[in-house]
Amino acid sequence: MPFYQKRGEIPNKHHIQFRDDSGNLYWEELISREGFSHMYSNVYHIHPPTGVETVGELKKINLVSADQTHRHHHIRTANMNSNGDAISSRIPLFFNSDLVISKAHVSDSMNTLYRNGNADEVLFIHTGSGTFKSNFGNMKLTPGDYVVIPRGVIWQIDVTQDMRILITESSGPIETPTRYRNKFGQLLEHSPFSERDIRTPEFVGPVADIPMGVEVKLRHGIQTYGYQHHPFDLVGWDGFYFPYIFNINDFMPITGKIHQPPPVHQTFQAHGFVICSFVPRLFDYHGESVPAPYAHSNVDSDELIYYVEGNFMSRKDIDEESITYHPMGLPHGPQPGKIEESLGAKETNELAVMIDTFKPLNMTVAALSVDDEDYPYSWIES
């Protein structure tokens, strides 16, 4: 979702001399996608961004698929044993070659910096608050925030109140849906949100210069690099490449005379999956409408829904922080009695995040450890 931003002090042309008051040259760094052929930002450092003093050992992360029966799952993530900072508390639950979905119960602020060199990330802040600090600037974190972090951004989170976070790591760029953008990248009039809803970093200028460790996420693990100078030494930047926040409560739902399909709730797209937002909305207004969603057979996608808050009208026995996972090849839909309960209802007050993947997901042992084994039988009529 490109739109131009500028912060701090920058020269009037790319790649020309840019000096401080003492005549010292600033260090220009280009951060770009697809080589030199896509979005980019130019950032300007006091010190060289390449000044690595130490290289640590690779701490391997092996994602292992648990043996699982092909069935529907209800994962009660509130019961997970997770704590630490926004990186150490992560527990992977689902993965395939396009993404990794994790949950984190964040109790601590980060003492080091972090950069994902292998994936873009979306952090969904379910509860809690804090400050997201990056080399581009700072952003306050509040419940309902989607924090979109392109790969290569260096960041840390300071916790004000313990946080529950759903994390999606994407092998490709996280983008707004193509059908909601014009050819210039601007969100269209009929998009369920606009650029006015996007929060971008507040520039704070260079921080105190101290040696700093950066944990870099690579394909098979995390490796720590010790930098001679703090990476947050920018005097300015401009471009189209930066972290940003969109809050789920700013999503304006599209409704209709009859039930609207999930694509109207789409918020982000990426290679191999989409992210949708279910928010409070008016129900259909046809005289014989059925507000509850119809049964659906997933033949080309896996469906995962993370329940945030409210009355989840098509499901029973669902808690906040629950995840339902409906794999491709099996029909799913409202549980018995939920269609009848929905008739005549005027609105719903649910909040939920849905992730649909176009390749099958693998589950981890951690996910199965908080799985409700009776969930596949919850459609049996009593």
State the Cα–Cα distance between residues 135 and 214, nearest whole angstrom: 12
> 């100078």: which residue's tokens?
229
- Calpha distance 30→40 (Å, rounded): 7
Query: Percentage of the chain surpassing pLDDT 70?
Result: 99
Q: Which single residue is written with the structure tokens 């549980």?
A: 335
Confidence of residue 192 (pLDDT cuts 50, 70, 90): very high
What distance, in Å, lies between the first and last C-alpha atoms of the chain? 48
pLDDT of residue 107: 97
Residue 278 in tokens: 């279910």
Q: Give pLDDT, residue 40.
A: 96
User: Six-digit token pair at 316?
Assistant: 């029973």
Asked if the model's pLDDT at residue 246 lies above 90, the reply is yes
In this predicted structure, the answer to whether residue 376 has a pLDDT above a threshold of 70 is yes
Distance CA 24, CA 349 (A): 57
Q: Are 93 and 325 in contact (CB under 8 A)?
A: no
CB 26 within 8 A of CB 235: yes
Mean pLDDT value across residues 254-283: 94
Who has greater pLDDT, 134 or 333?
A: 134
CB 138 within 8 A of CB 132: yes
Asked whether residue 314 carries a pLDDT value surpassing 90, the answer given is no
What does residue 198 show for φ and ψ, rounded to 5 degrees? -90, 130
Average pLDDT, integer, range 225-231: 96
For residue 1, the model assigns a pLDDT of: 61
For residues 140 and 120, the answer to whether their CB atoms sit within 8 Å is no
Q: What pLDDT, on a 0 to 100 scale, did the predictor assign at position 298?
A: 84
* Most confident residue range from 114-118, 253-257, 338-342: 114-118
Mean pLDDT for the chain overall: 94
User: Which run of H or of E encompasses 319?
Assistant: none
How large is the average pLDDT for residues 253-260?
A: 91
Enter the tokens of residue 347. Answer: 């609105």
Structure tokens at 332: 């799913």
Phi-psi region of 381 (alpha: psi -120 to 50; beta: other; left: phi over 0): beta
Q: Say how far apart CA 24 and CA 21 lie, in whole Å.
A: 7
In this prediction, residue 382 carries a pLDDT of: 74
User: What is the reported pLDDT for 67?
Assistant: 82
pLDDT band at 293 (very low <50, low <70, confident <90, very high): confident
- What pLDDT score was predicted for residue 338? 86
* Residue 270 phi, psi (nearest 5): -155, 175
pLDDT digits (tens, 9 = 90+) for 35-90: 999 999 999 999 999 999 999 999 999 999 998 889 999 999 999 999 999 999 99
Of 144, 143, 164, give the one whose Cα is nearest residue 84. 164
User: Domains in the chain and their CATH numbers?
Assistant: 29-62+81-243 (2.60.120.10), 249-377 (2.60.120.10)
Mean pLDDT of the 17-43 span:
96
- Count of residues making up the chain: 382
**How far, in Å, are 8, 79, 128, 267, 269 from residue 203 at the CA level?**
7, 38, 23, 26, 28
With 70 as the cut, is the pLDDT of residue 211 above it? yes
